[in-house]
Structure 1
Amino acid sequence: MRIVRFTTGEEPSYGVLTGDLDEYGQPDEDAVVVALVGDPLYVGIKLLEKEHRLADVRLLAPVLPRSKVVGIGKNYAAHAAEMGGPVPDEPLMFLKPNTSVVGPGDAIQYPRQSKFISFEGEVAVVIGRICRDVPAEQATDVIHGYTIANDVTARDLQKTDGQFTRAKGFDSFCPLGPWIETDLDPQDFIDGRRIQTYLNGDLKQDGSTADMIHDIPALIAHVSSVMTLLPGDVILTGTPEGVGPMEVGDEIEISIEGLGTLTNKVEARA
């Protein structure tokens, strides 16, 4: 099931997207959004007798984290190597504020404080219920679904600050979308799902989730051993090699097999 958050010009609503995806992760032309009653994280899947053509709605970030986004650094060995550091023994955690979240089609705002912002295509896990100290073998019990993330990073600030908060925390530095897929399983990503990032149509990242050092159940177990996770919290699972700079006017497309395509453009922050 693909859960979307959308607007028709009125208050945001939730819905279920029908139809299949093409080879580029795009929905059929006749795809329809069936509206839901409230937020499915809290009221479950309750369909309304109200439908919209996908072409007539604007998709928003499929989840608005009320609490936090937890990022994982250097979770692909090749990416750790390209960043010039060793692979951490344990998952390397950092936080992005919920105010960094934007949706598909929204602008990534290039901040005045940076001269080097970078894209990072990633699988994002959406947590479905309050949990703490989750054993890895029970991770599926707390997963609401999966979506695509761009863990935008100001590389120059990351280097000068010596930590991640400012470099990864600007408004618009966490595009999510285009929907939440609920029918996948952690094993699908362990077996391998292709991640590709395109910058202005040029392929920059081409990796597989099979290359994650710490798989999704292990990440949930690790993060939840440190902090309580709440419904709507998001865990970013790390990025493969090939990250690089973005400039004002660039368009970034991140496609993940089974999850669709997330597209955003870069604009100067006003």
Structure 2
Amino acid sequence: MRLFSYRASDSKESVGALIQGSDNEFIDLCSTDTQLPNSLQLIIQDEQLMRRADAALKNPKAVRGNIKSIAFKTPIDRPGKIVCMGLNYADHAKEGGNARPEYPSFFMRGPSSLTPHLGPIIKPRVSDKLDYEAELAFVVGKKARHLTLDNALDCVAGYSIFNDGSIRDYQRKTTQWTIGKNFDQTGAFGPWLVTPDELPAGCNGLNIQSRLNGQVMQNANTKDFLWGIAETIVLISECMTLEPGDVVITGTPAGVGYARTPPVFMKAGDICEIEIESIGILRNTIADE
């Protein structure tokens, strides 16, 4: 299933599921089955609710809609944790002047830094160094601690797309990256959550690309991860409990704007697209604060 959170024109909030084979039509799951909550975070952590969602999607009398008439929300409204990885592609580590790391660079984002598919990415008034980063995201569906490579993927509810918009000058004000990664509405997330049954295990071997105003800036493949999804979960869960609705962002490949000659940063009016094979396209326009 391809599940997403949205707001209708009458301000009603609901959860939709894209109809297979269609780019625009979806099933309004909550109107089709009134027992379903209008929170994707609640649905993904309950196997019974996931079965109800699947049944609603297949219901011949299901309530249909068109994505052109709705406003996307981020798939998970208020994640308890947004755990981000840095330097998970060797080529990106190299372009930043770093040797191949022995351990991932982890940092955290806060929910106020998120923006949805087709929502604006905000260039803050204090900087003109807003950079793009194409990343694969996954959402946790089950409480998880001390997982192994054999069972790590069992906790994944689905995969999505993330643009880890980074304010580069603020990122480098300290040895910690957090401040440059948490400006309001800089992290684009969406458009939907794709359940693991529709994708290769651990999303291995998927092309990932960023485009700025139609020009390809990053072009890579998830097979080039230094730490795959299962290994990432093992590393995080040996430290902290992963909980339903937590989001993990898995790092970006080479081609980011700050490493180019001359550097390329996003500005108001630009359109940035992140595409991941078999998942979709996350599209955002840049706007000034």
- Give the alignment's TM-score, normalised by structure 2: 0.86
Equivalent position of 1:35 in the other structure: 29
Per-residue Cα deviation, 1:109-128 (whole angstroms, up to 9, x for no partner): 11122221110001001000
Cα distance in structure 1, aligned partners of 2:167 and 2:20 = 37
How far off its partner does 1:188 sit?
5.5
* Match runs of 1:47-86 below 5 Å: 47=53, 49-86=62-99
Cα distance in structure 2, aligned partners of 1:200 and 1:171 = 22
How far off its partner does 1:56 sit?
2.2
SS of residue paired to 1:226: coil
Per-residue Cα deviation, 1:128-166 (whole angstroms, up to 9, x for no partner): 021111112111210000000001111111112221111
Q: Is 1:257 the counterpart of 2:277 in the alignment?
A: yes
Cα distance in structure 1, aligned partners of 2:148 and 2:121 = 36
* Match runs of 1:209-248 below 5 Å: 209-244=222-257, 245-248=265-268
Q: Which of 150, 173, 180 is residue 137 of structure 1 equivalent to?
A: 150
For structure 2, list consecutive stretches of 5 or more residues without a partner in the other structure: 31-35, 57-61, 258-264
User: Is the contact made by 1:70 and 1:235 (CA closer than 8 Å) also made in structure 2?
Assistant: yes
SS of residue paired to 2:179: helix
* Match runs of 1:106-255 below 5 Å: 106-182=119-195, 183-185=197-199, 187=201, 189-190=203-204, 192-244=205-257, 245-255=265-275
SS of residue paired to 2:172: helix
Report the aligned-residue RMSD.
1.6
- Greater share of strand: 1
Per-residue Cα deviation, 1:198-238 (whole angstroms, up to 9, x for no partner): 00011111100000000000001111111111111111011
> Cα gap change, 1:251/1:17 in structure 2, threshold over 3 Å: closer, same or farther?
same
Stretch moving more, 34-43 or 118-127: 34-43
Instruction: Tell me which stretches of 4 or more aligned residues in structure 1 moved more than 6 Å.
Output: none
Cα distance in structure 1, aligned partners of 2:155 and 2:201 = 15
> Cα gap change, 1:185/1:139 in structure 2, threshold over 3 Å: closer, same or farther?
farther
How far off its partner does 1:32 sit?
2.2
SS of residue paired to 1:137: coil
How far off its partner does 1:28 sit?
2.9
Q: Is 1:99 the counterpart of 2:112 in the alignment?
A: yes
User: Is the contact made by 2:153 and 2:229 (CA closer than 8 Å) also made in structure 1?
Assistant: no
Q: Tell me the matched-pair count.
A: 261
Per-residue Cα deviation, 1:151-195 (whole angstroms, up to 9, x for no partner): 1111111112221111001111211111000024563633x1000
Cα distance in structure 2, aligned partners of 1:105 and 1:228 = 32
Equivalent position of 2:33 in the other structure: none
User: Is the contact made by 1:186 and 1:216 (CA closer than 8 Å) also made in structure 2?
Assistant: no
| Aligned AA (1:235) | V
SS of residue paired to 1:246: coil
For the pair shown, the structure with the greater C-alpha radius of gyration is 2
> Cα gap change, 1:235/1:188 in structure 2, threshold over 3 Å: closer, same or farther?
closer
Stretch moving more, 44-53 or 242-251: 44-53
Cα distance in structure 2, aligned partners of 1:268 and 1:252 = 14
How far off its partner does 1:101 sit?
1.5
